[in-house]
């Protein structure tokens, strides 16, 4: 959905002072530092007149009919809220859902912030979980639904805290119709919710409609009664919603709240966000946009709406921005306490920084709760960036330590505790996951503080260079915008601090260049994250014509089935001949389709002719779910011709299925063992159940110890040996959670779920295939344990037949090793350690000999050193004057290795009298160049540094390097350029030293 617009500010102050008189009905919020009173919205007293309660009640819609009539709106009339309900954010959410539940909508839970959609990085809209239904790819489960969806958007992250409306985390309240009701009901209910349920004054509400949507205009005016002057027709950019270049689309209508009705109705601009706030958006999804740009009516018209919870809370709680509602303000209060500032008394800049932390901590906590951990890629980078922005903002506020006496402690976990406290009505799982959330925040913040310190050192180096360049060029010192952005983006270094430090050193910053770099990043971010892509193509038609596949694979590995459809390169065909790759859709199947981490089954499809002679064989190599619950069998025609409508015999490879079953059950045992050995807070972060191994990713801050791995293996093998019979049952999701069943990471669940239990050990929600008895697993062995991201560990293991193969292979290699070393297995370690020590000593001897050989070569070429900087006349008159000349030695030492070249250079600077400059080069191997520069103190004192000198020389050889002022090494990949590189080194040394002498 397109973004909603909010005013930058209201011309009102804190403490209950408002733009217009309201009754003294107030909600006191404790701030910790001070008590803040929020005046609640009551429409009883308004400049335009008073409310006729009887007339307001007469306007209410019937609760039982979608086509109930509504009386025209009285200009002087406003909605009445005589129920005297509180207007907390939680109550607004609850009342919204109850309102639509009473009108036949199924209340569905918020989807995860990690969407089941490869086209979108994070859940950015309330409609996202219903995308397959809107596309017609899956059948609707209910005709209408309502949700309070958690959303994340980061494309406008730089505006967070600067405006009254921008957030990275927000809640979108929505009501949806899947081919059920349409414009009339959606409009009337939105009006009733706004004016009757929430009591918003009708004469403060403005409407926008698409410029060509006469139907919506008439409903708003003729049936709802909104005056024509308060209905604005707007263009395609504002009021026509599209999912992309092609796909579902349609006009939309928005409801705006007017903060300043006294400004009148002439020349009104709904885009004036000092006056208006858009809080409810109704999308009438009625067309499919084709590739040529034309619109065709959808077979199923849908309603997709979004009401911004934070925005409505701002209106009803009558505060000047979303940040001052009870949804966010307590977080800001906690931040103010740590920063030792008063929000009410703070200037705009400090308020902005407090808002940034209040917003970002909400996003961070809910993302980590949903399994997104800081990393340098994908969703993990979003979390890391938000954490870093919050940390550096805290530093700008002067927050030091955790506020509990530890000045080296992390402050984000302290603020996150307040977010978790407020999460009860948003996501009940956050509190249970709080130990993991707080630990991850602490670790990431403390690590980033070290990064900030490195950024400070880099800034110092940048300023030294900038000041040096300015002195040489006679210009004002200025740090480039690219350098400032590098500090900001890579090291998280605030540009405000960069500017302050630079000014202290007498330099400025190219802010125009910085803004250009920032804008480039913003555009890339928007392109990546701001759109929900929908498409109506062959897939939707296919899903419409093919029923869901009946899965028989829990009880059988064989079934007779009918070919419903054949696809080649994604396009439907009638028949496929031998040698072709094909995707086969069957009406029923014993093949398991990849899900829950378990890969799809392999096997064969057989087709016999009327005389029962085999006519076609299809080898199935993978099975995937698509378009909802349709199984796509991917394979190759090995023999014959396969046609749509034919009956086939579908047979799963039983050996491979057994391998998958063994590894899947072993994965459940592994998770149970991890929780028992290292702590209950560990949880799954991904998995792979394959035929040859299993892979399990889990949240944990450190590598597992050897004794912990041994204990985990021991537990699992003891459970395998106990020969426990597994229990599988289907039950309600709520009942399964109450029973303690663990949900698998990344899986989506309906109301009915399958629960797999190893009694006394493990209980998980899982649709995968499993052994019937743990004894079938036979044995379990961990192959590796390693970190794959910050706070994420990975275990790879084998079980069953793969375990036997692994043990046999290890035994085979051990026997060969014993034969080669001529020792028993138990003596292999000692023998290898002895061999390694012998090898180390031999290498040291070789290295010593090479160094001595290099020094010998150096003693021979030392005589090639020549003086620079003294005239011939002086040399003829005084030998002592010759000794004061600078000696230069630049030579090639053939194939001398890098270490020996270093030894030779060290020998030469000791042998030659100070001042002397030595540059040596060699080609120690094919495609390799080694270079070394060694300068005596007398040369360094002249301002010539070896580290800076050798770099450009190495570039000529296709490499680079550097080092200290007196000694530096470099390398390259172009031996053919070594001669010219050394000649350049010789020439530059002569030139520089001659200039220094004069």
Over 753-792, what HEC string results?
EEEEEECCCEEEECCCCCCCEHHHHCCEEEEEEEEEECCE
- Closest alpha carbon to 369 in 710, 114, 673, 46: 114
DSSP reduced 3-state for 278: strand
Pairing of strands 614-626, 630-639: antiparallel
Between 799 and 641, the more confident residue is 799
| Packed helices 348-369 and 412-421: angle between N→C axes, nearest 10 degrees | 70
Domains of the chain as residue ranges with CATH: 89-319 (3.30.930.10), 329-520 (no CATH), 550-652 (2.40.30.130), 657-809 (3.30.980.10), 855-870+882-996 (3.10.310.40)
Q: How far is CA 601 from the centre of its chain?
A: 31
- Return the structure tokens found at 145: 């639904």
pLDDT of residue 334: 94
Question: ∠ CA 809-813-814 to the nearest 5 degrees?
Answer: 115
Q: Is-cis flag, bond preceding 374, omega within 30?
A: no
Could you give the CA distance from residue 7 to residue 320 in angstroms, rounded to a whole number?
9
Average pLDDT of the residues in 765-776 = 95
Q: By the 8 A CB rule, do 253 and 208 touch?
A: yes
Instruction: With a cut of 90, say whether residue 555 has pLDDT above it.
Output: yes
Q: By the 8 A CB rule, do 98 and 148 touch?
A: no
Residue 128 to residues 331, 856, 911, Cα–Cα distance (Å): 28, 75, 76
Task: State the chain's mean pLDDT as an integer.
Answer: 83
Instruction: With a cut of 90, say whether residue 171 has pLDDT above it.
Output: yes
Q: In the chain, pLDDT over 70 holds for what percent of residues? A: 84
- Return the structure tokens found at 944: 């010539």
Res. 227 pLDDT band, cuts 50 70 90: very high
Could you give the CA distance from residue 949 to residue 469 in angstroms, rounded to a whole number?
17
- Closest alpha carbon to 693 in 827, 591, 773, 795: 795
- Closest alpha carbon to 220 in 268, 276, 282, 309: 282
Res. 857 pLDDT band, cuts 50 70 90: confident
pLDDT of residue 243: 65
Please give the backbone phi and psi of residue 346, each rounded to the nearest 5 degrees, phi first: -75, 155
Could you give the CA distance from residue 825 to residue 808 in angstroms, rounded to a whole number?
15
Average pLDDT of the residues in 819-830 = 91
Instruction: With a cut of 70, say whether residue 860 has pLDDT above it.
Output: yes
The answer to whether the predicted template modeling score (pTM) of the entire model surpasses 0.75 is no
Could you give the CA distance from residue 953 to residue 933 in angstroms, rounded to a whole number?
10
Q: By the 8 A CB rule, do 256 and 278 touch?
A: yes
Q: What is the pLDDT of residues 427-471, one digit of tens each?
A: 888 988 898 899 889 988 988 887 777 787 888 888 888 888 888
- Closest alpha carbon to 870 in 880, 861, 857, 856: 880
pLDDT of residue 979: 92
Q: What is the pLDDT of residues 470-495, one digit of tens each?
A: 888 888 899 998 888 888 777 767 67
170-184, 734-748, 852-866, 981-995: least confident range: 734-748
Instruction: Tell whether residue 770 is among the known ligand binding residues.
Output: yes
Q: What is the 3-state secondary structure (H, E, C) of 627-676?
A: CCCEEEEEEEEEECEEECCCEEEEEECHHHHHHHHHHHHHHHHHHHHHHH
Burial class, 527, CB count within 10 angstroms (exposed 0-12 / middle 13-18 / buried 19+): exposed
Between 430 and 524, the more confident residue is 430
Q: What torsion do the CA atoms of 190, 191, 193, 195 make, to the nearest 10 degrees?
A: 160
Instruction: With a cut of 50, say whether residue 370 has pLDDT above it.
Output: yes
Average pLDDT of the residues in 654-667 = 97
pLDDT of residue 613: 65
Q: By the 8 A CB rule, do 865 and 891 touch?
A: no
DSSP reduced 3-state for 578: coil
- Closest alpha carbon to 908 in 933, 931, 944: 933
Average pLDDT of the residues in 399-412 = 85
Instruction: With a cut of 60, say whether residue 578 has pLDDT above it.
Output: yes
Instruction: With a cut of 60, say whether residue 953 has pLDDT above it.
Output: yes
Could you give the CA distance from residue 3 to residue 151 in angstroms, rounded to a whole number?
12
Res. 242 pLDDT band, cuts 50 70 90: confident
Average pLDDT of the residues in 160-189 = 90
pLDDT of residue 592: 97
pLDDT of residue 545: 64
Average pLDDT of the residues in 18-28 = 31
- H-assigned helices in 530-623: 538-545
Instruction: Tell whether residue 663 is among the known ligand binding residues.
Output: no
Question: ∠ CA 894-899-901 to the nearest 5 degrees?
Answer: 40
Res. 884 pLDDT band, cuts 50 70 90: low
pLDDT of residue 129: 84
Highest mean pLDDT among 358-367, 567-576, 737-746, 901-910: 358-367
pLDDT of residue 601: 97
pLDDT of residue 48: 34
Q: Classify 714 in phi/psi space as left (phi over 0), alpha (psi -120 to 50) or beta.
A: alpha
Q: By the 8 A CB rule, do 368 and 438 touch?
A: no
Cβ neighbours for 102, distance < 8 A, ≥ 6 positions apart: 63
pLDDT of residue 5: 34
Average pLDDT of the residues in 792-805 = 95
576-580, 740-744, 823-827, 953-957: least confident range: 740-744
Cβ neighbours for 581, distance < 8 A, ≥ 6 positions apart: 568, 634, 635, 636
Instruction: With a cut of 70, say whether residue 32 has pLDDT above it.
Output: no
* Entry field: residues in the chain: 998
pLDDT of residue 158: 72
pLDDT of residue 805: 95
Res. 676 pLDDT band, cuts 50 70 90: very high
Res. 524 pLDDT band, cuts 50 70 90: low
Res. 789 pLDDT band, cuts 50 70 90: confident
pLDDT of residue 375: 79
Could you give the CA distance from residue 750 to residue 271 in angstroms, rounded to a whole number?
41
Res. 792 pLDDT band, cuts 50 70 90: confident
pLDDT of residue 964: 87
- Helices (H) then strands (E): counts for the chain: 28, 40
Instruction: Tell whether residue 818 is among the known ligand binding residues.
Output: no
Average pLDDT of the residues in 647-653 = 95
Q: By the 8 A CB rule, do 305 and 175 touch?
A: yes
Between 883 and 887, the more confident residue is 887
pLDDT of residue 284: 95
Q: By the 8 A CB rule, do 672 and 773 touch?
A: no
Q: In which element (H, E) is residue 170 found? A: strand 169-178
Instruction: State the sign of the Cα–Cα–Cα–Cα dihedral 185, 219, 221, 2.
Output: positive
pLDDT of residue 210: 95
Could you give the CA distance from residue 196 to residue 189 in angstroms, rounded to a whole number?
10
Between 264 and 5, the more confident residue is 264
Instruction: With a cut of 70, say whether residue 531 has pLDDT above it.
Output: no
pLDDT of residue 795: 96
- Closest alpha carbon to 443 in 374, 379, 490, 390: 374
- Closest alpha carbon to 737 in 751, 718, 726, 727: 751
Instruction: With a cut of 90, say whether residue 217 has pLDDT above it.
Output: yes
Could you give the CA distance from residue 636 to residue 568 in angstroms, rounded to a whole number?
11
pLDDT of residue 50: 30
- Return the structure tokens found at 581: 């790759």
Cβ neighbours for 694, distance < 8 A, ≥ 6 positions apart: 663, 664, 666, 667, 670, 687, 688, 796, 797, 798, 799
Q: What is the DSSP letter of 223?
A: I
Q: Which residue has the tokens 């956050």?
A: 430
Instruction: Tell whether residue 360 is among the known ligand binding residues.
Output: no
Q: By the 8 A CB rule, do 645 and 155 touch?
A: no
Q: What is the DSSP letter of 211?
A: T
pLDDT of residue 36: 37
Q: What is the 3-state secondary structure (H, E, C) of 796-842?
A: EEEECHHHHHHHHHHHHHHHHHHHHHCCCHHHHHHHHHHHHHHHHHH
25-29, 106-110, 226-230, 621-625: least confident range: 25-29
Instruction: With a cut of 80, say whether residue 530 has pLDDT above it.
Output: no
| Packed helices 378-396 and 434-473: angle between N→C axes, nearest 10 degrees | 70
- Closest alpha carbon to 902 in 963, 958, 992: 963
Average pLDDT of the residues in 862-881 = 58
Radius of gyration of the chain (CA): 36
Q: Which residue has the tokens 């306007």?
A: 59
Could you give the CA distance from residue 110 to residue 107 in angstroms, rounded to a whole number?
10
């Amino acid at each position: 959905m397109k973004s909603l617009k909010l005013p930058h500010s209201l011309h009102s102050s804190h403490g209950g002072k408002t733009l217009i008189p309201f009754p003294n009905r107030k909600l006191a919020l404790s701030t910790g530092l001070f008590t803040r009173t929020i005046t609640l919205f009551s429409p009883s007293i308004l400049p335009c007149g008073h409310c006729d309660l009887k007339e307001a009640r007469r306007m209410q819609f019937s609760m039982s009919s979608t086509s109930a009539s509504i009386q025209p709106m009285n200009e002087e009339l406003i909605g009445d809220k005589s129920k005297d309900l509180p207007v907390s954010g939680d109550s607004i959410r609850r009342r919204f859902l109850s309102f639509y539940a009473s009108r036949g909508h199924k209340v569905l839970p918020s989807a995860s912030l990690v969407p089941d959609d490869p086209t979108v990085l994070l859940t950015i809209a309330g409609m996202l979980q219903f995308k397959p239904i809107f596309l017609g790819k899956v059948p609707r489960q209910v005709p209408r639904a309502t949700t309070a969806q958690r959303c994340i958007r980061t494309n406008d992250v730089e505006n967070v805290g600067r405006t009254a409306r921008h957030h990275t985390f927000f809640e979108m309240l929505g009501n949806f119709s899947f081919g059920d009701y349409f414009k009339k009901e959606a409009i009337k209910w939105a009006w009733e919710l706004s004016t009757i349920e929430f009591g918003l004054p009708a004469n403060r509400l403005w409407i926008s409609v698409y410029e060509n949507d006469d139907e919506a205009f008439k409903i708003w005016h003729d049936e709802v009664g909104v005056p024509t002057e308060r209905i604005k027709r707007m263009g395609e950019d504002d009021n026509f919603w599209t999912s992309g270049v092609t796909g579902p689309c349609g006009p939309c209508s928005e409801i705006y709240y007017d903060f300043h009705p006294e400004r009148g109705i002439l020349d009104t601009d709904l885009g004036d966000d000092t006056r208006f706030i858009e809080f409810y958006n109704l999308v009438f999804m009625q067309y499919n946009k084709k590739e040529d740009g034309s619109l065709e009516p959808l077979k199923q018209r849908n309603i997709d709406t979004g009401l911004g919870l934070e925005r409505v809370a701002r209106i009803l709680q009558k505060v000047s921005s979303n940040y001052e509602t009870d949804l966010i303000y307590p977080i800001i209060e906690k931040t103010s306490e740590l920063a030792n500032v008063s929000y009410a008394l703070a200037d705009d800049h400090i308020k902005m920084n407090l808002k940034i932390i209040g917003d970002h901590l909400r996003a961070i906590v809910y993302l980590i709760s949903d399994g997104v951990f800081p990393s340098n890629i994908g969703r993990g980078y979003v979390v890391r960036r938000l954490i870093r922005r919050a940390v550096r903002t805290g530093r700008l506020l002067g927050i030091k330590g955790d506020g509990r006496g530890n000045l080296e402690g992390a402050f984000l976990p302290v603020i996150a505790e307040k977010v978790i406290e407020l999460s009860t009505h948003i996501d009940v799982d956050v509190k249970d996951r709080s130990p993991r959330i707080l630990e991850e925040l602490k670790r990431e913040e403390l690590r980033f503080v070290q990064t900030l310190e490195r950024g400070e050192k880099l800034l110092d180096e940048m300023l030294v260079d900038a000041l040096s360049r300015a002195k040489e060029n006679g210009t004002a010192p200025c740090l480039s915008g690219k350098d400032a952005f590098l500090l900001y983006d890579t090291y998280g270094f605030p540009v405000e601090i960069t500017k302050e430090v630079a000014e202290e050193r007498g330099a400025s910053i190219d802010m125009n260049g910085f803004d250009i770099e920032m804008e480039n990043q913003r555009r890339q971010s928007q392109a990546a994250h701001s759109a929900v892509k929908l498409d109506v193509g062959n897939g939707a038609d296919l899903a419409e014509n093919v029923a869901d596949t009946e899965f028989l694979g829990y009880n059988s590995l064989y079934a007779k089935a009918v070919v419903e459809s054949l696809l080649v390169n994604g396009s439907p065909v009638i028949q496929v001949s031998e040698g072709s790759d094909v995707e086969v859709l069957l009406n029923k199947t014993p093949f398991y389709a990849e899900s829950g981490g378990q890969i799809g089954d392999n096997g064969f499809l057989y087709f016999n002719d009327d005389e029962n002679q085999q006519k076609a064989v299809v080898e199935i190599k993978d099975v995937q779910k698509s378009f909802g619950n349709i199984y796509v069998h991917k394979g190759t025609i090995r023999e014959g011709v396969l046609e749509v409508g034919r009956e086939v015999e579908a047979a799963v490879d039983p050996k491979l299925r057994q391998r998958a079953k063994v590894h899947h059950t072993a994965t459940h045992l592994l998770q149970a063992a991890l929780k028992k050995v290292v702590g209950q807070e560990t949880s799954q972060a991904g998995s792979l159940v394959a035929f040859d191994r299993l892979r399990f990713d889990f949240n944990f801050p450190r590598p597992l110890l050897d004794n912990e791995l041994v204990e985990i293996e021991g537990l699992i093998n003891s459970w395998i040996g106990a020969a426990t019979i597994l229990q599988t049952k289907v039950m309600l999701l709520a009942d399964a959670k109450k029973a303690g069943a663990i949900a698998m990471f990344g899986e989506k669940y309906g109301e009915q779920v399958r629960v797999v239990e190893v009694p006394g050990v493990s209980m998980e929600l899982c649709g995968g295939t499993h052994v019937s008895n743990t004894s079938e697993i036979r044995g379990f062995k961990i192959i590796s344990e390693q970190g794959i991201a910050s706070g994420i560990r990975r275990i790879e293991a084998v079980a069953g037949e793969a375990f036997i193969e692994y043990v046999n292979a290890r035994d085979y290699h051990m026997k060969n090793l014993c034969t080669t070393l001529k020792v028993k297995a138990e003596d292999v370690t000692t023998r290898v350690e002895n061999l390694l020590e012998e090898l180390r000593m031999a290498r040291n001897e070789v290295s010593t000999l090479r160094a001595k050989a290099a020094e010998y070569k150096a003693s021979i070429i030392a005589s090639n050193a020549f003086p620079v900087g003294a005239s011939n006349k002086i040399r003829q008159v005084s030998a002592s004057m010759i000794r004061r000349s600078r000696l230069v030695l630049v030579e090639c030492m053939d194939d001398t290795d890098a270490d020996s070249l270093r030894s030779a250079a060290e020998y030469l600077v000791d042998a030659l009298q100070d001042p002397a400059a030595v540059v040596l080069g060699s080609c120690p191997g094919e495609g390799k160049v080694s270079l070394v520069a060694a300068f005596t103190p007398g040369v360094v004192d002249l301002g010539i540094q070896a580290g800076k000198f050798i770099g450009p020389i190495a570039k000529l050889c296709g490499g680079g390097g550097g080092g200290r002022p007196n000694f530096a090494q470099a390398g390259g990949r172009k031996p053919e350029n070594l001669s010219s590189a050394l000649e350049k080194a010789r020439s530059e040394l002569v030139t520089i030293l001659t200039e220094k002498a004069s």
